[in-house]
Structure 1
Amino acid sequence: MIYVRKVGPFVVHRRQRNKKKFKFVFMVVGLIISISLFLKLLQMKPELTVSKLVERSLEEAVSDQLKPDDHKDDGPKNKCGLSKPCSEEDFAFKLYSGATNIVGPQICFEGKMIIQKDTRGKWLGINIAVINEETGEHIKTGSFNMWNGKVEELIEFLKSIEDGSLVLIATFDDPATKLNDEARALIAELGSSYISQIKFRDNWLFVGGKKTINQVSYEEHMKNDRETNKYESWPEMIEMEGCIPRID
């Protein structure tokens, strides 16, 4: 014989309330455990603050975008990790802008990393690598903070670049606050079309030359716009690669 027990609505509602209470208690206990573990971590590492934890998370997320290319010089087919290899008659290059004010820029030329990605505090502003057009030799590098640095130092560097030089530029954080008309004009002479448009926290990459035999001009620009930015106050990191003909 089978017995069927009737359960009234009051009993059902009470069970539902008990179930909700159990879920609530479980969530509270989980939250308390999480907070306890977090506080214990801060006690073990007092130098670790909440802001540093946030910065570390952002840095790891941005750095993931850079992992596919190790930039090792494994021969002409893999110089600078280009998606397509350059011919033996060309120089290979690949540039990355910085991401926010945490992950720095990169400049790679002919399989050699001239400016290596670094964390905040280094390579802020406009970063320039100067290359001999004929030999492909790296001549010099300059880094100029355009937020609180001196634009006169950038102008002096630009004027010192010798004729027949390739010029590679990658920005990080803010490239424009201290940038004046004279500096913009000197960069325009190298072949830049976007330099007049560069503004606060824009991302910008450029490859040009100073009175080079081959007329070289490569450029990428990403505007700082809160409505489209990937990182709130900063636009998305950009990259650019290509091949520059060697002089016969």
Structure 2
Amino acid sequence: MRPVAGGAFRAVLLVFASVCAWYSGYLLAELIPDAPLSSAIYNIRNIGEKPVLKAPAPKRQKCDHWTPCPPNTYAYRLLSGGGRNKYAKICFEDELLIGEKTGNVARGINIAIVNYVTGNVTATQYFDMYEGDNSGPMTKFIQSAPPKSLLFMVTHDDGSSRLKDDAKNAIETLGSKEIRNMQFRSSWVFLAAKGFELPSGIEREKINHSDNKKNRYSGWPAEIQIEGCIPKEPS
């Protein structure tokens, strides 16, 4: 009887151990959150590896500046045309004033006038300097800008062939140093203030006469740009 009793006792222990193992597995499954097996294996394989730190994507700034403008300033960006099909752009406070998307850019000199006090756009216009007599109308447009105005000017294609002295004088009066150096298809950008003075550190004008036949525009000057921040009028 002893062997039989011993066998029965071992059978009871085996059943008891099986029940305990099942119950332990049940509790473990309840306590551990669900996760795919592949994820668990991946996590085990990556134990001990150095964490990979990813830099956050840079926040877009007004007019695509690399860094934000300080408080109480206006952001601006002027981009001349480049080649035949890369159109000029004027951006102010993240608003495209002149450009291909707005449909108001063309060959010649493109101008936008902005109220310096309010930051509102007063007028935009382009003047073909290759065909037609548009130098006079452009002069009147510039002179019509009221006091406390910002004037932004950019070229696309040619801005000099029919540019006469009346227009050159008007632009020169606003502070341009390069308007009389304009050549056929020169790339030119200019920021002017009427009725007030801009801080001396602000980039206001740039010109490019390059006609290098090896550049990407086959002899057309490449686009140039200026950008910056204009302090607002103190309230």
For the aligned pair, the TM-score class normalised by the smaller chain equals 0.5 to 0.7
Aligned to 2:223: 237
Equivalent residue runs for 1:27-176 within 5 Å: 78-117=61-100, 122-149=105-132, 150-176=134-160
1:128 is paired with a residue of what secondary structure? Answer: strand
Q: 1:118 to 1:147 in 2, by over 3 A?
A: farther
1:126 is paired with a residue of what secondary structure? Answer: strand
Deviation at 1:210, TM superposition (A): 1.2
Kept after mapping to 2: 8 A contact 1:189/1:210: no
Structure 1: give runs of 5+ residues left out of the alignment.
1-73
Kept after mapping to 1: 8 A contact 2:136/2:166: no
What RMSD over aligned residues (CA atoms) do the two structures have, in Å?
A: 2.3
Kept after mapping to 2: 8 A contact 1:146/1:178: yes
Percent sequence identity is 34
Q: Which runs of 4+ in 1 moved over 6 A?
A: none
Higher relative contact order (CA 8 A, sep 6+): 2
Deviation at 1:139, TM superposition (A): 0.6
Aligned to 1:190: 174
Deviation at 1:153, TM superposition (A): 1.3
1:246 paired to 2:229 = no
Structure 2: give runs of 5+ residues left out of the alignment.
1-58
1:210 paired residue among 180, 194, 217? 194
Higher Cα Rg: structure 1 or 2?
Answer: 2
Q: Which structure dedicates a bigger proportion of its chain to helix?
A: 1
Kept after mapping to 2: 8 A contact 1:131/1:140: yes
Aligned residues: 173
How far apart are the structure 2 equivalents of 1:171 and 1:246?
26
More divergent stretch after superposition (192-201 vs 110-119): 110-119
Kept after mapping to 2: 8 A contact 1:192/1:217: no
Aligned to 1:33: none
Deviation at 1:120, TM superposition (A): 11
Deviation at 1:119, TM superposition (A): 11
Deviation at 1:224, TM superposition (A): 3.6
Q: 1:144 to 1:231 in 2, by over 3 A?
A: same
**TM-score, normalising length from structure 1?**
0.64
Give a deviation string over 1:117-167, Cα, whole Å, max 9, x none: 369995111000101111111110010000003211111111211111101
Deviation at 1:190, TM superposition (A): 1.2
Kept after mapping to 2: 8 A contact 1:133/1:212: no
1:219 paired to 2:205 = yes
Q: 1:187 to 1:92 in 2, by over 3 A?
A: same
How far apart are the structure 2 equivalents of 1:172 and 1:224?
14
**TM-score, normalising length from structure 2?**
0.68
Amino acid in the other structure paired with 1:245: P
Kept after mapping to 2: 8 A contact 1:166/1:212: no
